[in-house]
Amino acid sequence: MSTAKFRTLEREQRFQNPPKDKSAYPMLYEAIEPHIGSFNALTEGAHGGLLNLAVKDIGAKTIFDSTSTDRLGNKLMIKVDSVEIGKPSIPTNDKLSLNSNTLPYECRERMISYRSKLRLKVTWSVNDGEEMSEIRDCGLLPVMLRSSRCHLQNLSPDELVKHKEESDEFGGYFIVNGIEKLIRMLIVQRRNHPMALIRPSFASRGNSYTKYGIQIRCVRPDQTSQTNVLHYLSDGNVTFRFSWKKNEYLVPVQMILKALMETSDREIFDGIIGTDLSNSFLTDRLELLLRTYNKSYNLYSNQETLAYLGDKFRVVFDGTPDMSDIEVGKLVLKRIVLVHLDSNQDKFRMLLFMIRKLYSLVAGDCCPDNPDATQHQEVLLGGFLYGMIVKEKIEEYLNNFKLQVSSDLNRGLKVNFHERKYISRVFQRINENIGQKLQYFLSTGNLVSQSGLDLQQVSGYTVVAEKINFHRFISHFRMVHRGSFFAELKTTTVRKLLPESWGFLCPVHTPDGSPCGLLNHLAHKCKITTKQSDVSGVPGALSQLGISSVNSFAAGPGVCCVQLDGKILGWTSHEKAKIVADTLRYWKIEGSHNIPLDLEVGYVPPSNKGQYPGLYLFGGHARMVRPVKYLPLGKTDIVGPFEQVYMNIAVTPEEITNNIHSHVEFSPTNILSILANLTPFSDFNQSPRNMYQCQMGKQTMGTPGVGLVHRSDNKLYRLQSGQTPIVKANLYDDYGMDNFPNGTNAVVAVISYTGYDMDDAMIINKSADERGFGYGTVYKVEKVDLGMSRRRGDPITQHIGFGDDDWPEIWQNKLDADGLPQIGVKVEEGDPIIAYFDDTLGKTKVKTYHSSEPAYIEEVKLLADDTNSECQQLSIKYRITRQPLIGDKFSSRHGQKGVCSRKWPQTDMPFSETGIQPDVIINPHAFPSRMTIGMFVESLAGKAGALHGMAHDATPWKFSESDTPADYFGDQLLAAGYNYHGNEPMYSGVTGEELRADIYIGVVYYQRLRHMVNDKFQVRSTGPVNSLTMQPVKGRKRSGGIRVGEMERDALIGHGTAFLLQDRLLNCSDYTHTSLCKDCGSLLTTQASVPRIGSMSSIRCRSCSKKLESFSNEFINESDIWEDGQGKKFVGGENTTTVAIPFVLKYLDSELAAMGIKLKYNVQPR
Amino acid sequence: MDIDKDTESGPAITIRSSERDHVNFVLKNVDLAVANSVRRTMMAEVPTLAIDLVEIDVNTSVLADEFIAHRLGLIPLVSDSIDELSYSRDCTCDQYCNKCSVKLELAAKCDTDSTMNIYASDLAKFQNGSTLGDPVIRDAQGKGSLICKLRKHQELRITCIAKKGIAKEHAKWSPCSAVGFEYDPWNKLKHTDYWYEESVEDEWPKSENCEWEEAPDPEAPFDYNARANNFYVDIETIGSLSPNDVFVKSLETLQLKLAGISVELNKDTVESSNAESGGLTTYGRNGGETPEINYGGSYGGSSWS
């Protein structure tokens, strides 16, 4: 049994003197490495990073300066030569600042973005002449913290503290308008591996289309991808499908084959069929395939086919007039077909392989691949996605340049490519601010794209990295989403936990409710590759192992195809392939033959209608990998999800069986995420309880950080009395969780004591509360901007501070002489928080505090803008004290949440013989149905630990049936003079009498959740009403009412409480008195007459009265005449009365009247 | 509570161990209700002194004002002569005065590069001629409890007003950290039921107090008339009062409370006698009738006196 330590002194030492060399928690940095690694890959690595690869891929745009159609004119080739991202710095016009670096803390406090200059080196040449270049500033690009573009990169904890960061700030996110944002990881299809699919939707593509298809997601070296699909048609034909700029195109696959290479039907036939000549299913279909194509298209040679393709796709691919059809055709192949491969020869072979796999799928020789299995998935990393967007925006930039030139031409402006001035002018007239577009992407998560980037969603890419507590913060970086496309899907198959994800995705840590199973978290040891492994030694090693060359005559599932990152390297027999795979694995772990350790050796053995066999090697980016121990060498192997399916990895050393297991897990806990690992004794709990704990850990009012003075988050929760748990998994220390305590050790008695602990309520000891149990604080930041209503360029008219005029003295109680609030002063609703002098009015005014909850002023920060103008903005941080109240939510670490129902006096609490009284009482009924035995064990371990003054390790799967924690901790309790099972005889605090049963009492770590009554309570007697219906408005913020809905109404009816029902539905809602005409029965025609001398105003019915003019020759008594507001005179209509109705009835009547329907009411007595 | 009548069968106390902040004794020949009342009173109703008002002049430390105030409140203060002080609410003064409060001051500023610790011993008391209100200090270095830590240029200037109070109001006024309480270690009364898996003896450790009572005879029939008689009490104080004081004062408090009840119950008799002698009455408002029930008539007068 391993033990845990408190490490109090170590921690204190580390806080006082942060390490000057490296962090004490390397695992934290490893956890977020995929984010930083992928961002760094944009600017670092081979060929100057992904962005420079991307601009190479974009190539040059060709522009001609002629308006006439018969000649082309001068040719301008413009391209982006290289991309450079600087480090965040102050604007160049600021000459006063000594330090020109902008640091992240400043961005957080000033609520601006952490971004740096994006510079493009644009080169152009006229008529293929001399190249000219210019460096263009393309706006400020938000950069990732601690990436190579950040000032914090590689800083030691000591330096980080000096830069006003957390001592273990690990970065991986962006700061946009002061908010920390990160790009969520997304699950996408595994790259460069053709996947066999059966999708009913494929059949709806067109006539004779079937459900069979082969899909491959090809990824270019710059990490942009292009998906190719082969469709099987019921007549045996195969179509190649791709989408380009959100449009789909279908091409017969033979056309692609013939365009790729000068080839013959024989070659295609052999390449697909190989030696399986006797397979008539295949030969029949292939014959059909080749014949129908030749018949319908009549294209035989490579050049003919290319020209045909080029002709058809010229418009779509923006072929310039100087390009021939053949060149356009080649461009299509380069841009679309199997873009991960360079040579057409390789593409041709891969396409043949895909066709064969498709036929196998149709014939039922192989099964479809499961796109929901981790085996066929990889992760789209934030940095790569960011790069993809930058690439697209750069291409857009060049296109805009082109459009600007053509618009100049159309408008008849002088266009002179030779003149540098003209080029510069074009640059000035197009939108160069690429950085802003990326900032928009980060702040909204919306992808604005012409191509769609081969992705299935347009929004939801970014999330706020909330710092509610450290658990939540770190989880954001380990989160992988399946894609919002799947969230709307009716079927739940995508949400299933598949055995393939063992060790890569945590089986515990997923939310319940709508994102369940779609939003997963990586297992804590799972890494994601951000670099291409050096696979140059692999082909050599393979040929050494006797793999025959690619050119050999072989095809089909009968032989084993050897592929490396989607490129066919050769063929071998299945028997040999197994040996090759094993040898490769041995070599890579041994470190010999120049084979990288993280090479994925996916050997798919031949099977009866199983997965299509072959030896698939992967060494690319974005793969999930994890370490396991390789038994023959006793060294670490890095395995991926593709190969893992066919490997035998023992979970514990005990279960290793000879000739079966090749690997063993380093620890069974490696399959759990960081948070799931922190649940103590989670192996004793019913599994959903562990899921709940993962959720609740993230909602805990804990410690968001220690550098709170340098943050300006909208809302921060902080537990003032945080402790290190007595019972904790050892990983707790490895991840440095003690730097951010999340709860308090509480003495918990499981007893039904007062009746106030019914139904998950819990009782808190009043004295414990008074001593500070669970005491928390909420920090809120309000940004005050005096220049809000001021337009750009207007002079500043409002100045912070008091003016010379007379203003109420009482303001000085809260405000200092400078007009800013005093630090530490208590403010209540309506109190002044800042005074300013308004020039236009010549008066001093104040802004007031708008919250019903009293707060204390914690900090006031004056915020400057980038110009040197007068200060107009400030942020005020309020401190709101939140001692535990009745109605606040607490939970243990086992998904056992409860609401505080009473603060019970200490004297009345039950007590043990030693005089110990529980801090918290929970009801025993919380356990039988939930089966959170882990909580019992924690209680036991906590008690033993408290008694002996030591911490206990709560890592799951450390105990066994023969060595139970009950015995382990029971012995410790016995040694301390306590009952073996953790029970104690207790006495009633009220009578002093011993309780009938002994009580289970121990120490459990309790979390205070952030859901507090103070944020939730809603009361109203009267208040604002909706002006249309006169019913109470809704919403807590507007002090609205709570709806008595249909079901509540039913309940009231069921109880027969008619009076209550009327009270709720009418009297307390829109009860109104209104006048009604008894003659015509109308609500709407009544109105008040104008009071005249000698008579009061009366209610008259307008439709029942007659106009005075109509009585031209009769005598009308003056007292019978009444007047409306417009001076019109009437007679009659006096038979009205007042009724009580719900106001909406009047509204309904009006609406019906508008449709020509009259409501008539009979009133009695008449 | 016929304490004085019979020393043989009356309440008795055997002190088993006694230290400065701790006492362990056996309370004999009292009713369970009495013993528990004493326990409850000791925990919650013995008046002590604790910082109740904190006036903060300067606080540039990392801790929030209310947080420091809370910490100050929990510092135990010497309360031996607490009787000299009256409750602030009963005092004639406006807010607080020397008769109902003790003033302490804390002024600290860190000027060094290293962290400065502020302890309870740094609280300076305004002279009041006694030890009342001095922070309780028990550690060897004489520092007392840690209040907060200051960094260079951080400053604390605080005036604290300590007031008399009881733990019913706030836990900071409790003189006890814990009160152990046990009776019937052999469970002869069968008030409880020891749960066990295999054997009671192995799984339940014997109480130390078992030695003080005879082991039960397994053959003996259950005595349903038996009452709990011996109470093993263990008081641990926080240092503001000595355990002896806590116990004695708890009895005083208890007596006062009982006397209060007695006075209330006998109001009619007292008042009627007052009326006869021309003193103050309250019942006159009901129309001059004396209530029919008269508790004092037959026996009350003698037994409550």
Distance from CA of A12 to the nearest CA of B (A): 12
Asked if the C-beta of B169 comes within 8 angstroms of chain A's C-beta atoms, the answer is no
pLDDT at B298: 40
Is CATH 3.90.1800.10 the classification given to domain A1071-1155? yes
Q: Locate tokens 């952490």: which residue?
A: A114
- H helices of A150-252, in order, are 157-162
Looking at beta carbons, which residues of chain B come within 8 Å of A985?
Answer: 192, 194
Distances (CA, A) of A57 to A330, A335, B58, B120: 14, 9, 64, 71
**Same-domain check for residues B66 and B156:** yes
Phi-psi bin for A1020: left (phi > 0), alpha (psi -120 to 50), beta? beta
Looking at beta carbons, which residues of chain B come within 8 Å of A989?
Answer: 40
Pick the closest to residue A355 from A636, A539, A557 (CA basis). Answer: A557
Asked if the C-beta of A777 comes within 8 angstroms of chain B's C-beta atoms, the answer is yes
State how far the Cα of A1121 lies from the Cα of A1118, in Å rounded to an integer: 6
Asked if the C-beta of B265 comes within 8 angstroms of chain A's C-beta atoms, the answer is no
Domain with CATH 2.40.270.10 in chain A: 725-774+886-1009
Residue B201 lies in a domain: yes
Substitution target in A8, A779, A825, A994 with the highest count of B β-carbons within 10 Å is A994
Phi-psi bin for A774: left (phi > 0), alpha (psi -120 to 50), beta? left
**Same-domain check for residues B199 and B117:** no
pLDDT at B305: 34
CB contact under 8 A, B44 and A772: no
Domain with CATH 3.90.1110.10 in chain A: 188-371
Q: For A445-500, how does the pLDDT look when each residue is reduced to its tens digit (9 = 90+)?
A: 999 988 888 898 999 999 999 999 999 999 999 999 998 898 888 888 899 999 99
pLDDT of residue B281 exceeding 80, the answer is no
User: What mean pLDDT, rounded, does chain B reach?
Assistant: 85
pLDDT at B279: 57
- CATH code where residue B109 lies: 2.170.120.12
* Count of Cβ atoms closer than 10 Å to residue B245 Cβ: 18
CB contact under 8 A, A981 and B203: yes
State how far the Cα of A776 lies from the Cα of A701, in Å rounded to an integer: 7
- The residue among B117, B141, B167 that closes a domain is B167
Asked if the C-beta of A967 comes within 8 angstroms of chain B's C-beta atoms, the answer is no
CB A596 within 8 A of CB A588: yes
**Same-domain check for residues B54 and B148:** yes
Nearest to A992 among B39, B64, B170 (CB): B39
What is the domain count for chain B?
A: 2
pLDDT of residue B285 exceeding 50, the answer is no
CB contact under 8 A, B32 and A881: no
**Same-domain check for residues B34 and B112:** no
Looking at beta carbons, which residues of chain B come within 8 Å of A916?
Answer: 178
pLDDT at A445: 92
pLDDT of residue B295 exceeding 50, the answer is no
DSSP string, A42-68: HHSSGGGHHHHHHHHHH--EEEE---S
Nearest to B207 among A777, A913, A915 (CB): A913
Residue ranges of A 909-938 with Cβ closer than 8 A to chain B:
911, 913-917
State how far the Cα of A821 lies from the Cα of A857, in Å rounded to an integer: 7
State how far the Cα of A136 lies from the Cα of A424, in Å rounded to an integer: 10
State how far the Cα of A839 lies from the Cα of A854, in Å rounded to an integer: 31
Quick one: DSSP state of residue A823? T
Residue B71 lies in a domain: yes
A-to-B residue pairs, Cβ atoms closer than 8 angstroms: 106
* CA dihedral for A878, A883, A888, A892, sign (positive or negative): positive
**Same-domain check for residues B105 and B157:** yes
Phi-psi bin for A338: left (phi > 0), alpha (psi -120 to 50), beta? left
pLDDT at A1115: 79
Residue of B nearest to A995 (CA): B192
State how far the Cα of A35 lies from the Cα of A16, in Å rounded to an integer: 30
Distances (CA, A) of B241 to A399, A767, A905, B72: 86, 19, 22, 18
CB B114 within 8 A of CB B57: no
Tokens (6 digits) for A1095:
């008579």
- The residue among B199, B225, B248 that closes a domain is B248
The listed CATH number (3.90.1110.10, 3.20.20.120, 3.50.50.60, 3.40.50.10490) that belongs to domain A188-371: 3.90.1110.10
**Cis peptide before A928, with omega less than 30 degrees from 0?**
no
**Same-domain check for residues B97 and B146:** yes
Residue of A nearest to B180 (CA): A915
pLDDT at B294: 44
- CATH code where residue B205 lies: 3.30.1360.10
pTM of the predicted model as reported, rounded to 2 decimal places: 0.89
ipTM of the complex: 0.86
**Same-domain check for residues B151 and B54:** yes
pLDDT at B49: 94
**Same-domain check for residues B146 and B238:** no
Nearest to A767 among B33, B40, B174 (CB): B174
Q: What is the mean pLDDT of residues B49-70?
A: 93
Domain with CATH 3.90.1070.20 in chain A: 532-647
CB contact under 8 A, A996 and B39: no
| Pairing outcome for strands A1129-1132 and A247-252 | unpaired
pLDDT at A127: 87
**Same-domain check for residues B33 and B53:** no
Please name the fold of domain A532-647: Hypothetical Protein Ta0175; Chain: A, domain 2 (3.90.1070)
To which CATH superfamily is domain A777-882 assigned? Answer: RNA polymerase II, Rpb2 subunit, wall domain (2.40.50.150)
Domain with CATH 3.90.1800.10 in chain A: 1071-1155
pLDDT of residue B293 exceeding 80, the answer is no
CB contact under 8 A, A985 and B192: yes
**Same-domain check for residues B31 and B59:** no
Residue ranges of B 172-231 with Cβ closer than 8 A to chain A:
172, 174, 178-184, 189, 191-197, 202-205, 207
Torsions phi, psi of B267, nearest 5?
-50, -45
Substitution target in B110, B115, B169, B181 with the highest count of A β-carbons within 10 Å is B181
Distance from CA of A957 to the nearest CA of B (A): 25
**Same-domain check for residues B55 and B41:** no
CB contact under 8 A, A911 and B181: yes
**Same-domain check for residues B149 and B217:** no
> pLDDT below 50 — which residues of chain A?
none
The listed CATH number (1.20.120.420, 3.30.2270.10, 1.10.10.10, 2.40.270.10) that belongs to domain A725-774+886-1009: 2.40.270.10
CB A142 within 8 A of CB A176: yes
Q: Residue A19: what residue type?
A: P
Whole domain around residue B105: which residue ranges? 49-167
